[in-house]
Structure 1
Amino acid sequence: MNGNLRSILFLLVGCGFFVQTKAQDVLFNPPFDFPIVFSGNFGEIRANHFHGGLDFKTGGVTGKPVCALADGYISRIRVTHGSGYVLDVVYDNGYSTINRHLSAFVGEIARRVEELQYKEESWEVDITPSPDEYPVKAGQVIALSGNTGYSFGPHLHLDVFETSTGDYVDPLPFFKKNVKDHTAPRAQGIMVFPQPGRGEVEGKQTPITFSMQRLGKPIVAWGWIGLGIRAYDYMEGAQNRYGVHTVILEVDGKEVFRSVVDRFAYEENRYINSWTKGQYMKSFIAPGNRLRMLHASNDSRGLINIDEERAYQIVYTLMDALGNTSKVRFTVQGK
């Protein structure tokens, strides 16, 4: 079957059946007509940046039809070495998307890109059509999934933006009725950050990590300290681990800090190294860190003052974007 005929068949068949049964339940149609499983989620901690979207698994193969999530129009068409075949869509509901690592475009877009590649004798192309050139309807097939660019296996990377602000937003809530997941995040360790010249932990003034097993007995500290946690989310039907959507820290029953990884601006990537130490997420705000996803509930940027010789009860609550929740409890002994 040649490429043009295959494109026509996909356009005719589309994701019609799935749209008819599911579209009324969600703000967005899902991009695929098969069960959704992710290889990566929104906001995962990466080297010097946050992961900006969702990575949809495609069963280890390429060529799966990718559907429009709602009514809108194609706003940009690209072929790049980094992201491979890329398609940008502006939707009428106030959101925009970027679909990366595609294997092919379909219909007139496929023909236009191929002609431009031959004309310019370049694999890389960048086209910005007018809003009325390529309108799309919810469920319409707009491309085929792939493994192009700097991809480490067949998948669809989907970025979702709030059109008015340009902020990256977590796409998962839009597809929650299409995702089967009842697995809560799990912690792997705690890090304690004694503040220089103001606190100490276990007799030291440098950060110390504690395994989950070690938390069975109190951590001895004095003065001003910050806490951090290493934790990951998990999903049924996948061996991957993901970033944690919400982390809440309470001391003696009072919330002192909360992080909610639900949106960020591109410029905020610069602050990720201020918030994290390796894979540990700090539960306090370092000076100069302007990440909007971080919220201190006290007047000390989330830092804790251990100034009494008693047991301080610490509780971490970990939550994913679907509401699956776990807790970590331990004691800091003031001494």
Structure 2
Amino acid sequence: MKIFIFLIFFCPALFAQVDYPKDYFSPPLDVPMQLSGNFGELRPNHFHAGFDLKTLQKEGLKVYAVADGYISRMKISTFGNGKAIYITHPNGYTSVYGHLQKANDPIENYIKKAQYALKSFEIELFLKPDELIVKKGQVIAFSGNTGGSEGPHLHFEFRDTKTEKIINPMFFGFDKNIKDTKKPLISAVYVYPLDTKTSVNHSKRPLLLNLSLQKNGTYLSENVVANGKIGFGITAFDYDDVSFNSNGVFKVQSFYNGKPNFGYQFDTYSFDDMRYVNALIDYSKYKKTQQRVQKLFMKNKYGLSIIQTDENNGIISVVPNLSSVYRVEVSDFFGNKSTVSIPVQYDLLSTIIEQEPVVSNYFVRADKDSNFAKDNMSVFFPAGTFYDDFDLNFDVKNDTLYLHEDTVPAHTNFTISIEDNKYSETQREKIFIGLVEGKKVTYNPTYRKDSVFNAKVKTLGKYALVMDTIMSKIAIAKPIEGKWLSDQKTIQLTINDELSGIKSYNGYLNGNWVLFEYDNKTKKITHNFSDGIVAEGANDLKVVVTDNVGNSTTFETHFFRSQKK
């Protein structure tokens, strides 16, 4: 087994064994390719699944099919990729285009027809191969800023059609569209004592190491003096010659005394791998400082498929009479590489910095079911909820469940249960289990059996029963009551719910359901008169907004419009 692991590390070709087509696909935009985000980049709760392509800081650029194929899926969402189109190609791959402003006319008409049939802005459609055929270079859509986008750009990715695995677009020849002569930047190196007996450089807490640039362009760390088990972590970024912003790195490999002991490379991975980003990074540090330190070790082995490690999962045991060197190499797709060497030696140094104190009254084993209860509140953690064992702070005070804090990542759902003994049945219909962060309350889908409320969540923190009797707000910037709107192309309103959140909204013109597009970032809904629902002359408009506990708000007005020119 050890020989097999050794061979894996010394055969780089095993990282990417597939011979991907290099000249089959063309760029999806006709502007120079610049990345605002690359494949595998570390994001909240996930790895980035493709390229984020810059669109000159504006919307409306033409988006082209990168090869012949057919539109196999279309998804319209207020979050995630927003308006997205999927094209299945005959060579076994699927291309994805996200955050679109709108599709071209035939595709947009197909989408709107489905939206009207389903009476919903958010839809997901799966198409047959003969329904919407596209050709390479055909305009399929226009770039936008929909969904979870934080600015105008095109999200672009490739998937294996059969397995749904996501693939780095660089492998399809797009590296020739990007010039990159710059090395990745290793901005910080940390060393971690990994048990209560171990100290590193007089500390039982993780330490930031000082680095010095060498004449050959590599970096040398200050000496690490330790006893017992330690691990290392890095913060690293990549840059190219044209994008002028930092992106994620392609490959990380560590060596201990010349032998590989931990590494990963962003070639391809599955959606099941996504949440393991929280295991890879120092999650607690990220939550406290927003700095993502990539850990080069695993206390307990987790299932991220891209990781290749030795039998010690990257953990080093520092023992007497052995001076060692730990080396980290960070590379980009173009072969540019940065290196840090860290001298490691054994010594029993006195401890000056003790472990950070943890307020806790329970211990959670990651591989065991755990159930904790006090008063009318309880929590159940199934085995495998967490990546590592940890000391849990659990308490109930003033009708609030204090469930540690969001410094320990959960990989799967766990269940919170709260029994109510003071609200009426009518009041219970308006209650949910909320995550309480200061004055902010986040809604969690809540189900009730008699007087017991339950919610499945993935975040540690403070929870309580929250009653929502506040109606959603519907507003229009300029009153239109009794006015002629013949020169307007759209009608727009703002909808908002500050507690449990909006579950649904529906608009009606003269009693007929009409499509309003919802932008979650601006909280605005927009109806386009070109849909052809508006009547000549007088029109009655009604908008109904319902929140997640059933409170409903209605806005009504009337206006006039002439379609004649």
Task: Please state which band the TM-score falls in when normalised by the shorter chain.
Answer: 0.7 to 0.9
Unaligned runs of 5+ in 1: 1-23
Residue 57 to residue 211, structure 1, CA distance change in 2 (3 Å): farther
Identity of paired residues, percent? Answer: 35
Given the alignment, which residue of 64, 67, 83 partners 1:67?
A: 64
State how far apart, in whole Å, the 1-side matches of 2:148 and 2:194 are.
40
Instruction: Please give the root-mean-square deviation of Cα atoms over the aligned residues, in Å.
Output: 2.1
SS at structure 1 position matched to 2:241: coil
* Number of equivalent positions: 311
**Partners of 2:47 and 2:275 within 8 A in 1:** no
Q: 1:198 to 1:71 in 2, by over 3 A?
A: farther
- What TM-score, normalized by structure 2, do the two folds share? 0.52
Alignment match, 2:271: 266
- CA contact under 8 A between 1:26 and 1:177: conserved in structure 2? no
Specify the alignment match of 2:31 in structure 1. 34
Preserved contact between residue 228 and residue 280 of structure 1 (Cα < 8 Å): yes
Decide whether aligned partners of structure 1 residues 95 and 211 sit closer, same or farther in structure 2, where only a CA change above 3 A counts.
farther
Contact map agreement 1:192 1:207 (CA 8 A) in 2: yes
1:237 partnered with 2:242: yes
Query: Runs of 5+ in structure 2 lacking a partner?
Result: 1-20, 213-218, 287-291, 348-565
Q: 1:126 aligns with which of 109, 124, 127?
A: 124
- Alpha-carbon distance in 2 for matches of 1:155, 1:220: 47
8 A contact 1:188–1:212 mirrored in 2? no
1-structure distance, mates of 2:319, 2:24: 50
Match of 1:101 in 2: 99
| Residues 137 and 198 of structure 1: CA distance in aligned 2, closer, same or farther (over 3 Å) | farther
Mark the CA change 1:128 to 1:191 in structure 2 (over 3 Å): closer, same or farther. same
Amino acid at match of 1:287: N
8 A Cα contact 1:250 1:314, kept in partner: yes
- Within a 5 Å distance, the mapping from 1:104-115 to structure 2 comes to 104-115=102-113
Matched, 1:45 2:48: no
Query: Deviation per CA, 1:190-213, whole angstroms, max 9, x where unpaired?
Result: 111222146321133332222435
Counterpart residue identity of residue 96, structure 1: T
Q: Secondary structure at the match of 1:295?
A: strand
Q: How much does 1:117 deviate?
A: 4.1
Match runs of 1:152-231 below 5 Å: 152-174=150-172, 175-197=174-196, 199-213=198-212, 216-231=221-236
Q: Which has the larger radius of gyration?
A: 2
1:3 aligns with: none
Residues 38-58 of structure 1: per-residue CA shift (max 9 Å, x gap): 001111112221112210001
Paired residue type of 1:30? P
User: Displacement, 1:334?
Assistant: 2.2
Alignment of 1:251-262 (within 5 A): 251-262=256-267
Deviations 1:65-118 (A, max 9, x none): 111122211011232211332111111121112211111111311222234445
- Which of the pair is proportionally richer in helix? 1
CA deviation after TM superposition for structure 1 residue 119, in Å: 5.5
Q: Distance in 1 between matches of 2:206 and 2:143?
A: 44
- 1:25/1:177 contact within 8 Å kept: no
Q: Is the 8 A contact 1:41 1:55 kept in 2?
A: yes
Question: Normalised by the size of structure 1, how large is the TM-score?
Answer: 0.86
Offset of residue 309 of structure 1:
4.0
Counterpart residue type for residue 307 of structure 1:
V
Match of 1:330 among 331, 342, 356: 342
